[in-house]
Structure 1
Amino acid sequence: MINKNRSLTTILLGIISLLLCLLLVWGHAAPLIASSDKTSKQLEEARKKAKSLKKELSLAQAELDELQSAAKEKSDNLAWLEERTQEQREAYEDALNRKNNALLVMEQTSSDYEEAVQEFEDQKEAYGERLALMYQLPQVSIFEALLSSRDLQSYFSTNRLIRIISDTDELMLTRLQEAEAYAEEMKSQAEASYEDMQKLVEEADELLADIKANINISKEELKKAASAVTEAEEESLSWAAEMKKAEEEIAALQEKYKKELAAEEAAKKEAAKAVKKKSESGTTSVSKSGWTWPVPSSSRISSNYGYRYIFGARQFHAGIDIPAAMGNKIVAAKSGVVLKCSSSKNEGNYVTIDHGGGIISKYKHLSKYGCKAGQRVSAGLVIGYIGSTGRSTGPHLHFEIIINGKTVNPLKYVSR
């Protein structure tokens, strides 16, 4: 009774020890997994933020390009207006000079006209006086004039003199009239030329004023455009700084995530190593009936005892399938003597152990043997290794228990 209690205590201690080992390893690995999950979420959020920032930066840059283009257009327009201003200023100065010259000509022709008129008036007055004087002279006949003359020669001289004086006055008056008409014509032409020059100056001055107004408008528009460009540049730089910050954050999170994944992988390997070491240490739990689980590294069952569908048909499965990693250890489920280490097309490499009392256990699909026929083995001793030989779908152990020539459900004798 005491031995049975000790055996049960030993089994319980073994199970507790294994669980503690797994919990210890998981206790180290779990925080790492949780940490990497958190970092992964942070990384995803940072990438979303970076994507949004990239879009904002792209929009800001497009707006900046548009504003810079508009500012350049206004600058070019202002330069053109300033060039036009210079050209128009020169045209204005030329028109003003021509106007001033026209004014001088007009003043001169006006003065000449006034002098011609005055001279004409003076000559006309003198001519009138002479005519009046001549009309006041006694009116004598030709006969009387002839008798009053000293001689005939004197008569003809006097008469010819009077005629010459009269003809000369008439010619002078005619010339004065012509000079007056010419002076009046020159005056009219000068006045017309002055008026034309005045209009030209006014037009040039008006155009110059318009250009100057447009320059002032363009300068103001250019000032506003430059201010808008400056604001857009500052906004673009701000987005670029945010983008750089986001990229640095992503790089840092990627590095952190990489390290955490590496730590997780290392923890998993350590956990697997610890479990494997524990399962392969040769320590197995033997029940009070003397049976033990045949695959220490795996407690899974991929196919139970009984009917099943496999290879396209319903067939009776005479044992249980325990999947495990290729090469993992297989132990004797109960103490006994190895009857056979053999191989067949369907079973692959297999081991048969006689436990006495008509009880036999079989271990199939082994990759290699760990015992030999005739060898006495105790429960938990390694007798082979996991494989996939024979008719198999993957690495596993097909385990059977046969009592008096008939297979039974192994789970009635062994437990995980």
Structure 2
Amino acid sequence: MTEIESLDQEREKRAFDIPEIRRDFPILQELTNGKPSVYLDSTASSLRPEQVVGAMLDYYHKCNANIHRGVYRWSEEATFKYERAHGKVKWFLNARSHKEIIFTRNTTESINLVAHTWGRANIKEGDEIVSTVMEHHSNIVPWQMLAQEKGAKVRYIKVNEEGKLDLSNIDEIITKKTKLVAVTHMSNVLGTINPVAELAKKAHAVGALILVDAAQSVPHLPVDVQALDIDFLAFSGHKMCGPTGIGVLWARRNLLEAMPPFLTGGDMIRSVTLEGSTWNDLPWKFEAGTPAIAEGIGLGAAVDYLASFGMDKIRAHEIEITRYALGQLREVPDLHIYGPRKAEERGGVVAFNLGEVHPHDLATMLDRDGIAVRAGHHCAQPLHDFLDLPATTRASFYIYNTLEEVDKLVDSLYRVRKVFKLA
């Protein structure tokens, strides 16, 4: 593990050159309906650079074997690469140990793992779980089901007119009855960046733990689990230039040690007799069966890719493009934007509606111009209900997007206005 830990050393940073970055993503050269592709749906899933795809192909071409189970060279090389990826994520989050890094399939599975293991062992009748109305369904439904099973209650922090959490009565919501606060670090609709460190202090003051859905934050800004002083954090590889089918649960080591396994069989076992079984060390205790080896290696390559720029530069680029987008979109008549007004208070996400045009119709029209956006409730129905909206259109930005692409979006919106006779 010494080679894994050596990844803590500062890496040489690559210049943030967008034309050069775009060359890493061959799919951006593809045409959509005969027009240059403008991909504005990275909040749902980012694109993958050649470096990540190459790392996965390298595994398949050079050491395609199972891990931890062979003493031959291919297996040992695959094991090293897969374990090394845990070390890279540890470094990326500033976790204390690679043993705190659990590979799952995605954010959803990570949250469900906590609900089924820590939750079932610690939530009791009369307890309360605090969440927010801006959560993705993945950070609402598991707690609703756990509360129903245990006779507990889920309470929700509301959203104010600025699209931020309404913390005016937070001491009435987070109380001695609270056992867990489950909150998104960044809203996948409003783009709001929530004060996680402040909420962690509130939770810990009453003896509760805090779980952070970081699916939208880890890919876009520096995230330091020690500085935030949180207890659980979940995110997905496919939103941060990594492959699908791989996610991460980070948790404090003492919590993971005390939690029972989520799935059983395969690599999570130390020994099995007919009378009983014992469990492997962390993190393998929570990685049952043959894991997503290529995907784990790909996630490690994605960490390398983002780290090669520095998350501070990525964040600065997204602030710039989001500020420009907010300014340009506000000039479009009949267009209403949701979420904080300042780019510094939100991620690279802009949800909006254009007059009475249904978001699905709007997204279809934009697609004709080669522009990919998301339309619907974005797995955040409670938030849309709270805002009294059936759906929204969402444009989201990442490292490969340009100001010129924002201009194309705006020009296309003006064309939609003419088609629907809003002009």
What band does the TM-score fall into relative to the shorter chain? Answer: under 0.3
User: Larger Cα Rg: Structure 1 or Structure 2?
Assistant: 1
Bigger RCO of structures 1 and 2 (CA < 8 A, at least 6 apart): 2
- TM-score w.r.t. length of structure 1: 0.19
